[in-house]
Structure 1
């Protein structure tokens, strides 16, 4: 069922949640380690997507449109949370996305180390690494983050170097 947006035949919100919910969850995980707070952030992002859908003009892909909303909402969320005193410690476990427990166990340490190293990067570097890992192309990343391609290349280069160094140190 498509929504009636004139020339924009968008999928239903339920279809958008089904198709892009995992992407939104992973964006939220980039900004919030606590599972309960992360779920709240996901809900905030979904609400923002729902509210913004009528303004979608197909200038970019729906995936990029949703990712930009999610990034912006997550940044606003982090800015609000920074002003609050800390109430919980960062969780040391990462929820498994994979249904196979054996595969999850094999890849868990590597995945946790990569996520932990990524979460310690400065926010601009964390954003580009996340989007590369999500399969966004450079043009989509630059558009979503509203930065110039050369700034993206520099940010990505620095992020990769920082991640490589952190992973080699075992942090």
Structure 2
């Protein structure tokens, strides 16, 4: 069904049902505090509903949802930055980030996921956005639609981020 054939409420409801889990993951990717992440989810849903008033199918609904979600999340991060100084790092410094796994009761997979997410939280917003979209399995072209970067620039950035994150998670591989 064409997006323009749906009412604003119908288009939002369909998108929220299909991408609700992705929106929650996106919010947790941008906001480490669970209460603030829930607030961010609500803000994204409100912006998404408003956006379907003017959505004309200029891209896929999936790209639209991610574009709206990431724009709201970036605004959220910028607002919280004004409230407190950032502890963000660039790609050059990601390898020096400390591990974030403090819970001995978690499994190794959960600890690794927590460490990765903590490192992603410390990335600059543009790099964080690309990595979170990549983890949601969007293609370089789709990520480019959301971020405004070329597909080639997205692919290069993903490659660099993956290498840096892998090295930060498995530092023992450095000296081999």
TM-score by length of 1: 0.78
Contiguous gaps of at least 5 residues in structure 1:
87-91, 94-103
Distance, in Å, in 1 between the alignment partners of 2:29 and 2:159 is 19
Q: Given the superposition, is the C-alpha separation of residues 12 and 151 from structure 1 closer, same or farther in structure 2, using an over 3 Å criterion?
A: closer
Go from structure 1 to structure 2 and tell me whether the alpha carbon gap of 1:106 and 1:14 turns closer, same or farther (over 3 Å shift).
Answer: farther
Match of 1:153 among 152, 155, 159: 155
Return the match for 1:167 from 142, 150, 169.
Answer: 169
1:138 to 122, 137, 140: 140
Aligned match of 1:109: 111
Deviation, structure 1 residue 51: 0.3
Query: 1:69 & 1:51 partners in 2: Cα distance?
Result: 10
Partner residue of 1:8 out of 2, 5, 15: 5
Partner of 1:101: none
Contact 1:126–1:159 (Cα < 8 Å) also in 2: no
What is the root-mean-square deviation in Å for CA atoms of aligned residues?
2.5
CA distance in 2: counterparts of 1:68 and 1:20, whole angstroms: 12
Runs of 4+ in 1 over 6 A off after TM superposition: none
Q: How many residues align?
A: 152
Equivalent in the alignment of 1:118: 120
Supply the distance in 2 between the matched residues of 1:159 and 1:85 (Cα, whole angstroms).
26
Structure 1, residues 138-157: CA drift from partner, whole Å, max 9, x if none? 11000111112222122212
Residue correspondence of structure 1 range 30-45 to structure 2 within 5 A: 30-45=29-44
Does the Cα contact within 8 Å between 1:121 and 1:162 map onto a contact in 2? no
Contact 1:117 1:167 in 2 (8 A): no
Q: Which residue of 1 aligns with 2:82?
A: 83
TM-score by length of 2: 0.76
Q: Is the 8 A contact 1:25 1:42 kept in 2?
A: yes
Whole-angstrom distance in 1 between the partners of 2:158 and 2:13: 34
Deviation at 1:39, TM superposition (A): 0.6
Deviations 1:109-168 (A, max 9, x none): 121122122222222222112111111111100011111222212221221122112111
Query: Which 5+ residue runs of structure 2 have no aligned equivalent?
Result: 86-99
**Alpha-carbon distance in structure 1 between the residues aligned to 2:78 and 2:13:** 29
